[in-house]
Structure 1
Amino acid sequence: MSRGTAVVTGASSGIGAATARRLAAEGYAVVAAARRRDRLDALAAEVPGLRAVTLDVTSADSIAELAASLDDIAVLVNNAGGALGVEPVERADPADWQQMYETNVLGVLRVTQALLPALERGSGGHVVVTGSIAGHLVYEGGGGYTAAKHAATALVETLRLELNGRPVRVTEIAPGMVQTEEFSLVRLRGDADAAAKVYAGVPDPLSADDVADCIAFAVTRPAHVNIDLLVVKPLAQAAPHKVHRR
Protein backbone atom coordinates (compact mmCIF):
# COMPACT_ATOMS: atom_id res chain seq x y z
CA MET A 1 0.00 0.00 0.00
CA SER A 2 1.42 3.35 -1.05
CA ARG A 3 1.99 6.00 1.57
CA GLY A 4 1.36 8.70 -1.06
CA THR A 5 3.63 10.95 -3.06
CA ALA A 6 6.92 12.28 -1.69
CA VAL A 7 8.74 15.09 -3.50
CA VAL A 8 12.47 15.39 -2.85
CA THR A 9 14.40 18.41 -4.15
CA GLY A 10 18.14 18.32 -4.70
CA ALA A 11 17.71 14.61 -5.40
CA SER A 12 20.51 14.15 -7.93
CA SER A 13 23.19 13.26 -5.35
CA GLY A 14 24.10 13.03 -1.67
CA ILE A 15 21.37 13.33 0.94
CA GLY A 16 18.69 13.99 -1.66
CA ALA A 17 19.40 10.84 -3.66
CA ALA A 18 19.68 8.76 -0.48
CA THR A 19 16.35 10.17 0.75
CA ALA A 20 14.65 9.39 -2.55
CA ARG A 21 15.84 5.78 -2.33
CA ARG A 22 14.81 5.43 1.31
CA LEU A 23 11.34 6.93 0.90
CA ALA A 24 10.71 4.68 -2.09
CA ALA A 25 11.66 1.71 0.10
CA GLU A 26 9.21 2.99 2.73
CA GLY A 27 6.36 2.81 0.21
CA TYR A 28 6.17 6.37 -1.11
CA ALA A 29 5.74 7.22 -4.78
CA VAL A 30 8.83 9.41 -5.08
CA VAL A 31 9.23 12.41 -7.33
CA ALA A 32 12.97 13.12 -7.48
CA ALA A 33 13.63 16.70 -8.55
CA ALA A 34 16.90 18.45 -9.36
CA ARG A 35 18.73 20.31 -12.14
CA ARG A 36 20.95 17.45 -13.35
CA ARG A 37 18.58 15.27 -15.35
CA ASP A 38 21.21 12.69 -16.30
CA ARG A 39 21.77 11.83 -12.64
CA LEU A 40 18.04 11.74 -11.97
CA ASP A 41 17.49 9.38 -14.90
CA ALA A 42 20.17 7.07 -13.50
CA LEU A 43 18.42 7.16 -10.11
CA ALA A 44 15.07 6.41 -11.75
CA ALA A 45 16.60 3.42 -13.51
CA GLU A 46 17.79 2.16 -10.12
CA VAL A 47 14.61 2.79 -8.09
CA PRO A 48 11.39 1.20 -9.42
CA GLY A 49 8.53 3.66 -9.73
CA LEU A 50 10.64 6.76 -9.08
CA ARG A 51 9.74 9.72 -11.28
CA ALA A 52 12.49 12.12 -12.33
CA VAL A 53 11.63 15.81 -12.75
CA THR A 54 14.00 18.57 -13.82
CA LEU A 55 13.78 21.39 -11.25
CA ASP A 56 15.65 24.61 -10.52
CA VAL A 57 14.56 25.91 -7.09
CA THR A 58 15.71 29.42 -8.04
CA SER A 59 13.25 29.53 -10.97
CA ALA A 60 9.59 30.34 -10.36
CA ASP A 61 8.65 28.93 -13.78
CA SER A 62 10.43 25.64 -13.09
CA ILE A 63 8.68 25.30 -9.73
CA ALA A 64 5.27 26.18 -11.22
CA GLU A 65 5.73 23.44 -13.81
CA LEU A 66 6.44 20.93 -11.04
CA ALA A 67 3.42 22.06 -9.01
CA ALA A 68 1.11 21.78 -12.04
CA SER A 69 2.14 18.14 -12.50
CA LEU A 70 1.14 17.09 -8.99
CA ASP A 71 -2.22 16.39 -7.39
CA ASP A 72 -1.87 15.67 -3.69
CA ILE A 73 1.42 15.21 -1.83
CA ALA A 74 2.14 13.40 1.40
CA VAL A 75 5.71 14.66 1.90
CA LEU A 76 7.86 17.50 0.59
CA VAL A 77 11.57 17.23 1.41
CA ASN A 78 13.22 20.60 0.75
CA ASN A 79 16.76 19.33 0.38
CA ALA A 80 18.25 21.52 -2.36
CA GLY A 81 20.95 23.82 -0.99
CA GLY A 82 24.63 23.83 -0.22
CA ALA A 83 27.61 25.92 0.81
CA LEU A 84 30.06 28.10 -1.11
CA GLY A 85 33.38 29.25 0.28
CA VAL A 86 35.09 29.39 3.67
CA GLU A 87 36.34 32.98 3.54
CA PRO A 88 35.97 35.15 6.66
CA VAL A 89 33.24 37.78 6.65
CA GLU A 90 35.69 40.60 5.87
CA ARG A 91 36.74 38.91 2.61
CA ALA A 92 33.57 37.07 1.61
CA ASP A 93 32.09 37.48 -1.86
CA PRO A 94 28.50 38.77 -1.61
CA ALA A 95 27.67 36.78 -4.76
CA ASP A 96 28.43 33.55 -2.87
CA TRP A 97 26.19 34.62 -0.01
CA GLN A 98 23.42 35.52 -2.45
CA GLN A 99 23.63 32.15 -4.17
CA MET A 100 23.49 30.32 -0.82
CA TYR A 101 20.47 32.40 0.21
CA GLU A 102 18.74 31.72 -3.13
CA THR A 103 18.98 27.95 -2.74
CA ASN A 104 18.91 27.34 1.03
CA VAL A 105 16.24 29.91 1.88
CA LEU A 106 14.33 31.31 -1.09
CA GLY A 107 14.33 27.90 -2.77
CA VAL A 108 12.61 26.45 0.29
CA LEU A 109 10.17 29.35 0.32
CA ARG A 110 9.28 29.09 -3.38
CA VAL A 111 8.82 25.31 -3.44
CA THR A 112 6.86 25.22 -0.18
CA GLN A 113 4.53 28.01 -1.32
CA ALA A 114 3.89 26.27 -4.63
CA LEU A 115 3.24 22.82 -3.16
CA LEU A 116 1.31 23.72 0.01
CA PRO A 117 -2.08 23.39 -1.74
CA ALA A 118 -1.18 19.85 -2.81
CA LEU A 119 0.11 19.07 0.70
CA GLU A 120 -3.28 20.06 2.14
CA ARG A 121 -5.34 18.37 -0.57
CA GLY A 122 -5.09 14.82 0.78
CA SER A 123 -5.33 13.48 4.29
CA GLY A 124 -2.43 15.64 5.48
CA GLY A 125 1.06 16.55 4.37
CA HIS A 126 4.52 16.99 5.81
CA VAL A 127 7.12 19.65 4.97
CA VAL A 128 10.68 18.61 5.78
CA VAL A 129 13.65 20.94 5.43
CA THR A 130 17.20 19.60 5.38
CA GLY A 131 18.83 22.22 7.57
CA SER A 132 22.14 21.95 9.40
CA ILE A 133 23.71 22.45 12.78
CA ALA A 134 24.97 25.58 10.98
CA GLY A 135 21.40 26.85 11.38
CA HIS A 136 21.80 26.78 15.17
CA LEU A 137 25.50 27.48 15.77
CA VAL A 138 28.14 29.59 14.02
CA TYR A 139 31.80 28.99 13.26
CA GLU A 140 34.68 30.89 11.74
CA GLY A 141 34.76 30.77 7.96
CA GLY A 142 31.11 29.79 7.81
CA GLY A 143 29.41 33.18 7.90
CA GLY A 144 27.51 32.93 4.62
CA TYR A 145 26.40 29.35 5.10
CA THR A 146 25.44 29.78 8.76
CA ALA A 147 23.51 32.95 7.90
CA ALA A 148 21.55 31.11 5.21
CA LYS A 149 20.88 28.08 7.40
CA HIS A 150 19.83 30.28 10.34
CA ALA A 151 17.36 31.92 7.96
CA ALA A 152 16.09 28.51 6.87
CA THR A 153 15.57 27.54 10.51
CA ALA A 154 13.61 30.75 11.10
CA LEU A 155 11.48 29.97 8.04
CA VAL A 156 10.71 26.46 9.33
CA GLU A 157 9.79 27.65 12.81
CA THR A 158 7.60 30.46 11.47
CA LEU A 159 5.85 28.13 9.02
CA ARG A 160 5.01 25.72 11.82
CA LEU A 161 3.35 28.53 13.78
CA GLU A 162 1.42 29.77 10.77
CA LEU A 163 0.15 26.30 9.79
CA ASN A 164 -1.02 25.45 13.29
CA GLY A 165 -4.51 23.99 13.06
CA ARG A 166 -4.00 22.84 9.46
CA PRO A 167 -3.09 19.22 8.55
CA VAL A 168 0.54 19.87 7.61
CA ARG A 169 3.47 18.84 9.77
CA VAL A 170 6.74 20.79 9.63
CA THR A 171 10.15 19.31 10.49
CA GLU A 172 13.77 20.42 10.30
CA ILE A 173 16.47 17.76 10.08
CA ALA A 174 19.77 19.37 11.15
CA PRO A 175 22.83 17.22 10.40
CA GLY A 176 26.37 17.85 11.50
CA MET A 177 29.34 16.48 9.56
CA VAL A 178 28.09 14.40 6.64
CA GLN A 179 30.60 12.99 4.16
CA THR A 180 29.17 13.05 0.64
CA GLU A 181 30.94 13.15 -2.69
CA GLU A 182 30.05 16.76 -3.45
CA PHE A 183 29.25 19.00 -0.45
CA SER A 184 32.79 19.96 0.58
CA LEU A 185 34.09 19.69 -2.98
CA VAL A 186 31.59 22.31 -4.15
CA ARG A 187 32.16 24.47 -1.08
CA LEU A 188 35.92 24.44 -1.70
CA ARG A 189 35.47 25.18 -5.41
CA GLY A 190 36.61 21.81 -6.70
CA ASP A 191 39.76 21.47 -4.58
CA ALA A 192 39.70 17.71 -3.95
CA ASP A 193 42.67 17.76 -1.56
CA ALA A 194 41.13 20.47 0.61
CA ALA A 195 37.78 18.66 0.58
CA ALA A 196 39.42 15.42 1.72
CA LYS A 197 41.07 17.23 4.64
CA VAL A 198 37.65 18.21 6.00
CA TYR A 199 37.05 14.56 6.91
CA ALA A 200 40.67 13.47 7.46
CA GLY A 201 41.09 11.39 10.62
CA VAL A 202 37.42 11.65 11.59
CA PRO A 203 36.18 8.20 12.62
CA ASP A 204 32.88 7.54 10.86
CA PRO A 205 31.37 10.87 9.81
CA LEU A 206 27.67 10.65 8.98
CA SER A 207 26.68 9.29 5.58
CA ALA A 208 23.86 10.47 3.35
CA ASP A 209 22.01 7.27 4.31
CA ASP A 210 22.19 8.23 8.00
CA VAL A 211 20.38 11.50 7.27
CA ALA A 212 17.87 9.79 5.00
CA ASP A 213 17.14 7.42 7.90
CA CYS A 214 16.31 10.39 10.12
CA ILE A 215 14.03 11.89 7.47
CA ALA A 216 12.25 8.55 7.03
CA PHE A 217 11.77 8.28 10.80
CA ALA A 218 10.21 11.75 11.02
CA VAL A 219 7.77 11.33 8.14
CA THR A 220 6.61 7.85 9.13
CA ARG A 221 5.47 8.83 12.65
CA PRO A 222 1.69 8.77 13.23
CA ALA A 223 -0.09 11.79 11.76
CA HIS A 224 -0.59 13.42 15.17
CA VAL A 225 3.16 13.29 15.96
CA ASN A 226 5.36 16.15 14.75
CA ILE A 227 9.15 16.00 15.07
CA ASP A 228 9.95 19.72 15.21
CA LEU A 229 13.73 19.42 15.04
CA LEU A 230 16.04 16.44 14.79
CA VAL A 231 19.72 17.26 15.29
CA VAL A 232 22.08 14.45 14.28
CA LYS A 233 25.88 14.43 14.45
CA PRO A 234 28.52 11.72 14.25
CA LEU A 235 29.83 10.58 17.62
CA ALA A 236 33.16 12.21 16.77
CA GLN A 237 31.58 15.66 16.50
CA ALA A 238 30.53 17.63 19.57
CA ALA A 239 30.10 20.96 17.74
CA PRO A 240 31.04 22.51 14.36
CA HIS A 241 34.40 23.50 15.80
CA LYS A 242 34.91 20.44 18.05
CA VAL A 243 35.66 17.26 16.10
CA HIS A 244 37.73 14.30 17.27
CA ARG A 245 40.34 13.18 14.75
CA ARG A 246 42.59 10.15 14.99
Structure 2
Amino acid sequence: MNNILITGAASGIGAATARLFHSRGWRVGLLDINAEALASLSAELSGSWYRQLDVTDIDQVQASLAEFCAKHDGQLRLLFNCAGILRFGYFEEVEHAEHMRIMQINVAGVFNMTHAAFSYLKATPNAQVINMGSASGLYGVPEMATYSASKFAIRGFTEALDLEWARHDIRVADLMPPFVNTPMVSSQQHTPATLSRLGVNLEAREIAHAVWQQIDSNAVHRPISLQFKLMYWAGQISPAWMSRLSMRWLSRK
Protein backbone atom coordinates (compact mmCIF):
# COMPACT_ATOMS: atom_id res chain seq x y z
CA MET A 1 0.00 0.00 0.00
CA ASN A 2 1.22 3.52 -0.79
CA ASN A 3 2.34 5.67 2.10
CA ILE A 4 3.16 9.35 2.53
CA LEU A 5 5.00 11.14 5.34
CA ILE A 6 4.21 14.85 5.67
CA THR A 7 6.06 17.48 7.68
CA GLY A 8 4.17 20.61 8.71
CA ALA A 9 1.07 18.42 8.64
CA ALA A 10 -0.98 20.04 11.39
CA SER A 11 -2.42 22.93 9.35
CA GLY A 12 -2.54 24.67 5.99
CA ILE A 13 -1.10 22.84 2.98
CA GLY A 14 0.19 19.91 5.02
CA ALA A 15 -3.20 19.21 6.57
CA ALA A 16 -5.01 19.59 3.25
CA THR A 17 -2.59 17.13 1.65
CA ALA A 18 -3.04 14.66 4.49
CA ARG A 19 -6.83 14.78 4.08
CA LEU A 20 -6.64 14.27 0.32
CA PHE A 21 -4.23 11.34 0.39
CA HIS A 22 -6.07 9.71 3.30
CA SER A 23 -9.34 9.98 1.36
CA ARG A 24 -7.69 8.19 -1.56
CA GLY A 25 -6.52 5.23 0.44
CA TRP A 26 -2.91 6.11 1.22
CA ARG A 27 -1.37 5.37 4.61
CA VAL A 28 -0.59 8.79 6.04
CA GLY A 29 2.10 9.85 8.51
CA LEU A 30 1.78 13.26 10.16
CA LEU A 31 4.67 15.28 11.58
CA ASP A 32 4.49 18.75 13.10
CA ILE A 33 5.79 20.73 16.05
CA ASN A 34 2.20 21.63 17.07
CA ALA A 35 1.24 18.58 19.11
CA GLU A 36 -2.33 19.61 19.89
CA ALA A 37 -3.33 20.38 16.30
CA LEU A 38 -1.52 17.24 15.14
CA ALA A 39 -3.45 15.01 17.53
CA SER A 40 -6.72 16.60 16.42
CA LEU A 41 -5.99 15.94 12.74
CA SER A 42 -4.91 12.38 13.44
CA ALA A 43 -8.22 11.76 15.25
CA GLU A 44 -10.05 13.11 12.19
CA LEU A 45 -8.07 10.89 9.81
CA SER A 46 -8.73 7.47 11.25
CA GLY A 47 -5.73 5.16 11.06
CA SER A 48 -3.17 7.91 10.46
CA TRP A 49 0.11 7.87 12.37
CA TYR A 50 1.54 10.99 13.96
CA ARG A 51 4.44 12.27 16.03
CA GLN A 52 5.40 15.71 17.28
CA LEU A 53 8.58 16.75 15.49
CA ASP A 54 11.01 19.65 15.28
CA VAL A 55 12.54 19.21 11.82
CA THR A 56 15.73 20.97 12.96
CA ASP A 57 16.41 18.18 15.50
CA ILE A 58 18.16 15.41 13.56
CA ASP A 59 17.73 12.85 16.35
CA GLN A 60 13.96 13.40 16.37
CA VAL A 61 13.91 13.26 12.57
CA GLN A 62 15.73 9.93 12.41
CA ALA A 63 13.62 8.39 15.16
CA SER A 64 10.33 9.50 13.57
CA LEU A 65 11.28 8.15 10.15
CA ALA A 66 12.42 4.85 11.61
CA GLU A 67 9.19 4.43 13.56
CA PHE A 68 6.86 5.30 10.67
CA CYS A 69 8.70 3.24 8.06
CA ALA A 70 8.95 0.23 10.39
CA LYS A 71 5.16 0.02 10.05
CA HIS A 72 5.56 -0.25 6.27
CA ASP A 73 8.27 -2.89 5.84
CA GLY A 74 10.98 -0.24 5.87
CA GLN A 75 9.57 1.54 2.83
CA LEU A 76 8.53 5.14 2.08
CA ARG A 77 6.72 5.89 -1.17
CA LEU A 78 6.49 9.66 -0.75
CA LEU A 79 8.13 12.21 1.53
CA PHE A 80 6.42 15.61 1.41
CA ASN A 81 8.67 18.26 2.96
CA CYS A 82 5.99 20.83 3.73
CA ALA A 83 7.14 22.32 7.06
CA GLY A 84 8.15 25.96 6.76
CA ILE A 85 7.82 29.42 8.26
CA LEU A 86 7.50 32.89 6.79
CA ARG A 87 8.13 36.43 7.98
CA PHE A 88 7.19 39.47 5.91
CA GLY A 89 9.10 42.66 6.61
CA TYR A 90 12.06 44.78 5.62
CA PHE A 91 15.24 42.76 6.11
CA GLU A 92 16.88 45.14 8.59
CA GLU A 93 13.71 45.40 10.70
CA VAL A 94 13.36 41.64 11.25
CA GLU A 95 15.33 40.22 14.17
CA HIS A 96 18.48 38.34 13.21
CA ALA A 97 17.30 35.28 15.15
CA GLU A 98 14.14 35.17 13.03
CA HIS A 99 16.16 35.15 9.80
CA MET A 100 18.22 32.24 11.14
CA ARG A 101 15.08 30.39 12.23
CA ILE A 102 13.62 30.67 8.72
CA MET A 103 16.76 29.14 7.21
CA GLN A 104 16.96 26.41 9.84
CA ILE A 105 13.38 25.23 9.34
CA ASN A 106 12.91 25.88 5.62
CA VAL A 107 16.32 24.64 4.48
CA ALA A 108 18.10 22.60 7.15
CA GLY A 109 14.81 20.92 8.06
CA VAL A 110 14.38 19.71 4.47
CA PHE A 111 17.98 18.49 4.38
CA ASN A 112 17.49 16.63 7.66
CA MET A 113 14.32 14.88 6.56
CA THR A 114 15.55 13.98 3.09
CA HIS A 115 18.92 12.67 4.23
CA ALA A 116 17.34 10.55 6.96
CA ALA A 117 14.70 9.21 4.56
CA PHE A 118 17.15 7.98 1.92
CA SER A 119 17.41 4.32 2.91
CA TYR A 120 13.61 3.97 3.12
CA LEU A 121 13.08 5.70 -0.22
CA LYS A 122 15.76 3.57 -1.87
CA ALA A 123 14.00 0.43 -0.66
CA THR A 124 10.71 1.52 -2.27
CA PRO A 125 9.78 1.19 -5.95
CA ASN A 126 8.90 4.51 -7.62
CA ALA A 127 9.80 6.50 -4.49
CA GLN A 128 9.57 10.26 -4.53
CA VAL A 129 10.41 13.40 -2.55
CA ILE A 130 8.28 16.51 -3.03
CA ASN A 131 9.58 19.73 -1.52
CA MET A 132 7.50 22.80 -0.73
CA GLY A 133 9.05 25.48 -2.92
CA SER A 134 7.59 28.87 -3.78
CA ALA A 135 7.13 31.40 -6.54
CA SER A 136 9.64 33.46 -4.53
CA GLY A 137 12.27 30.92 -5.61
CA LEU A 138 12.05 32.28 -9.17
CA TYR A 139 13.26 35.81 -8.42
CA GLY A 140 14.08 37.32 -5.02
CA VAL A 141 11.07 39.10 -3.53
CA PRO A 142 11.57 42.31 -1.50
CA GLU A 143 10.14 42.33 2.02
CA MET A 144 10.58 38.57 2.21
CA ALA A 145 14.27 38.30 1.34
CA THR A 146 15.22 35.48 3.70
CA TYR A 147 12.17 33.42 2.79
CA SER A 148 13.08 33.89 -0.89
CA ALA A 149 16.63 32.80 -0.12
CA SER A 150 15.33 29.67 1.57
CA LYS A 151 13.22 28.79 -1.45
CA PHE A 152 16.10 29.43 -3.86
CA ALA A 153 18.04 26.90 -1.78
CA ILE A 154 15.20 24.39 -2.06
CA ARG A 155 15.00 24.92 -5.79
CA GLY A 156 18.72 24.22 -6.26
CA PHE A 157 18.63 21.27 -3.88
CA THR A 158 15.66 19.78 -5.73
CA GLU A 159 17.27 20.12 -9.15
CA ALA A 160 20.57 18.62 -8.02
CA LEU A 161 19.08 15.75 -6.05
CA ASP A 162 16.64 14.74 -8.78
CA LEU A 163 19.61 14.17 -11.09
CA GLU A 164 21.74 12.60 -8.40
CA TRP A 165 19.13 10.16 -7.08
CA ALA A 166 17.95 9.04 -10.52
CA ARG A 167 20.45 6.20 -10.14
CA HIS A 168 18.39 5.01 -7.17
CA ASP A 169 15.05 5.40 -9.00
CA ILE A 170 14.01 8.22 -6.63
CA ARG A 171 12.33 11.26 -8.16
CA VAL A 172 12.68 14.67 -6.51
CA ALA A 173 10.46 17.67 -7.32
CA ASP A 174 9.16 20.89 -5.84
CA LEU A 175 5.93 22.86 -5.93
CA MET A 176 6.12 26.58 -6.73
CA PRO A 177 2.92 28.41 -5.76
CA PRO A 178 2.53 32.15 -5.20
CA PHE A 179 0.69 33.35 -2.08
CA VAL A 180 -1.64 30.74 -0.54
CA ASN A 181 -4.44 31.41 1.91
CA THR A 182 -2.99 29.65 4.96
CA PRO A 183 -2.41 30.68 8.59
CA MET A 184 1.25 31.26 7.71
CA VAL A 185 0.22 34.11 5.39
CA SER A 186 -2.86 35.41 7.18
CA SER A 187 -1.03 35.78 10.51
CA GLN A 188 1.54 38.24 9.14
CA GLN A 189 1.61 41.80 10.50
CA HIS A 190 3.36 43.31 7.45
CA THR A 191 1.97 43.32 3.90
CA PRO A 192 4.54 43.32 1.07
CA ALA A 193 3.75 45.32 -2.04
CA THR A 194 3.89 42.11 -4.12
CA LEU A 195 1.08 40.59 -2.06
CA SER A 196 -1.03 43.74 -2.47
CA ARG A 197 -0.57 43.61 -6.25
CA LEU A 198 -0.85 39.86 -6.83
CA GLY A 199 -3.35 39.02 -4.10
CA VAL A 200 -3.89 35.71 -2.34
CA ASN A 201 -5.68 33.59 -4.91
CA LEU A 202 -4.90 30.02 -3.91
CA GLU A 203 -6.32 27.76 -1.21
CA ALA A 204 -4.46 24.98 0.59
CA ARG A 205 -6.61 22.31 -1.05
CA GLU A 206 -5.39 23.45 -4.49
CA ILE A 207 -1.79 22.86 -3.45
CA ALA A 208 -2.77 19.45 -2.07
CA HIS A 209 -4.17 18.55 -5.49
CA ALA A 210 -0.88 19.68 -7.05
CA VAL A 211 0.92 17.22 -4.78
CA TRP A 212 -1.44 14.49 -6.01
CA GLN A 213 -0.78 15.42 -9.64
CA GLN A 214 2.97 15.45 -9.06
CA ILE A 215 3.10 11.80 -8.00
CA ASP A 216 2.53 10.82 -11.65
CA SER A 217 4.83 13.45 -13.12
CA ASN A 218 8.51 13.53 -14.01
CA ALA A 219 8.61 17.33 -13.91
CA VAL A 220 11.16 18.77 -11.48
CA HIS A 221 9.28 22.04 -10.86
CA ARG A 222 5.51 22.47 -10.69
CA PRO A 223 4.51 26.15 -10.94
CA ILE A 224 0.98 26.60 -9.62
CA SER A 225 -1.75 29.03 -10.79
CA LEU A 226 -2.13 30.41 -14.29
CA GLN A 227 -0.77 33.76 -13.16
CA PHE A 228 2.49 32.31 -11.91
CA LYS A 229 2.81 29.75 -14.73
CA LEU A 230 2.89 32.65 -17.17
CA MET A 231 5.52 34.43 -15.06
CA TYR A 232 7.54 31.23 -14.69
CA TRP A 233 7.68 30.35 -18.37
CA ALA A 234 8.29 33.96 -19.36
CA GLY A 235 11.21 33.95 -16.95
CA GLN A 236 12.70 30.91 -18.68
CA ILE A 237 12.96 32.69 -22.03
CA SER A 238 13.29 36.38 -21.16
CA PRO A 239 16.58 38.09 -20.24
CA ALA A 240 17.43 38.55 -16.56
CA TRP A 241 16.95 42.31 -16.73
CA MET A 242 13.31 41.84 -17.71
CA SER A 243 12.64 39.63 -14.67
CA ARG A 244 14.28 42.24 -12.47
CA LEU A 245 12.19 45.00 -14.04
CA SER A 246 9.00 43.01 -13.44
CA MET A 247 9.88 42.40 -9.79
CA ARG A 248 10.77 46.06 -9.31
CA TRP A 249 7.31 47.03 -10.55
CA LEU A 250 5.52 44.37 -8.47
CA SER A 251 7.33 45.46 -5.30
CA ARG A 252 6.94 49.22 -5.81
CA LYS A 253 5.18 50.98 -2.96
Q: TM-score, normalised by structure 2?
A: 0.82
| Residues 1:210 and 2:201 aligned together | no
| 1:181 Cα deviation from its structure 2 partner | 2.5
Q: Which runs of 5+ in 2 are unaligned?
A: 232-245
CA contact (8 A) 2:223 2:229 kept: no
CA contact (8 A) 2:76 2:120 kept: yes
SS across alignment from 1:86: coil
Task: Give the structure 2 partner of residue 12 of structure 1.
Answer: 10
| 1:226 Cα deviation from its structure 2 partner | 1.3
Task: Give the structure 1 partner of residue 143 of structure 2.
Answer: 141
CA contact (8 A) 2:134 2:178 kept: yes
Label 1:237 to 1:136 Cα distance change in 2 as closer, same or farther (>3 A): closer
SS across alignment from 1:172: strand
SS across alignment from 2:112: helix
Task: Give the structure 1 partner of residue 89 of structure 2.
Answer: 86
Tell me, in whole angstroms, the C-alpha distance in 2 between the residues paired with 1:84 and 1:236: 21
CA contact (8 A) 2:30 2:50 kept: yes
Task: Give the structure 1 partner of residue 116 of structure 2.
Answer: 114
Q: Which amino acid aligns with 1:226?
A: N
| 1:200 Cα deviation from its structure 2 partner | 7.1
Q: Which runs of 5+ in 1 are unaligned?
A: none
| 1:30 Cα deviation from its structure 2 partner | 0.4
Q: Which amino acid aligns with 2:212?
A: A
Q: Which has the higher helix share?
A: 2
Q: 2:170 aligned to 168, 171, 179, which one? A: 168
Q: Which amino acid aligns with 1:21?
A: R
RMSD of the alignment, in Å?
2.6
How many residues end up aligned between the 2 structures? 230
Task: Give the structure 1 partner of residue 55 of structure 2.
Answer: 57
Indicate the percent of aligned positions where both proteins have the same amino acid. Answer: 26
| 1:202 Cα deviation from its structure 2 partner | 7.1
| 1:238 Cα deviation from its structure 2 partner | 6.8
Tell me, in whole angstroms, the C-alpha distance in 2 between the residues paired with 1:122 and 1:236: 33
1:30-72 deviations in Å (ceiling 9; x for gaps): 0010011111111111112211111110101110111221221
Tell me, in whole angstroms, the C-alpha distance in 2 between the residues paired with 1:33 and 1:13: 11
Q: Which amino acid aligns with 1:208?
A: A
- Moved segments of 4+, more than 2 Å: 90-94, 181-184, 197-204, 233-243
Task: Give the structure 2 partner of residue 180 of structure 1.
Answer: 182
Label 1:95 to 1:214 Cα distance change in 2 as closer, same or farther (>3 A): same
Q: 2:129 aligned to 96, 104, 127, which one? A: 127
| 1:162 Cα deviation from its structure 2 partner | 1.1
Label 1:183 to 1:234 Cα distance change in 2 as closer, same or farther (>3 A): farther
Q: TM-score, normalised by structure 1?
A: 0.84
Tell me, in whole angstroms, the C-alpha distance in 2 between the residues paired with 1:114 and 1:215: 21
CA contact (8 A) 1:177 1:234 kept: no
Tell me, in whole angstroms, the C-alpha distance in 1 between the residues paired with 2:19 and 2:229: 26
Task: Give the structure 2 partner of residue 153 of structure 1.
Answer: 155
| 1:117 Cα deviation from its structure 2 partner | 0.6
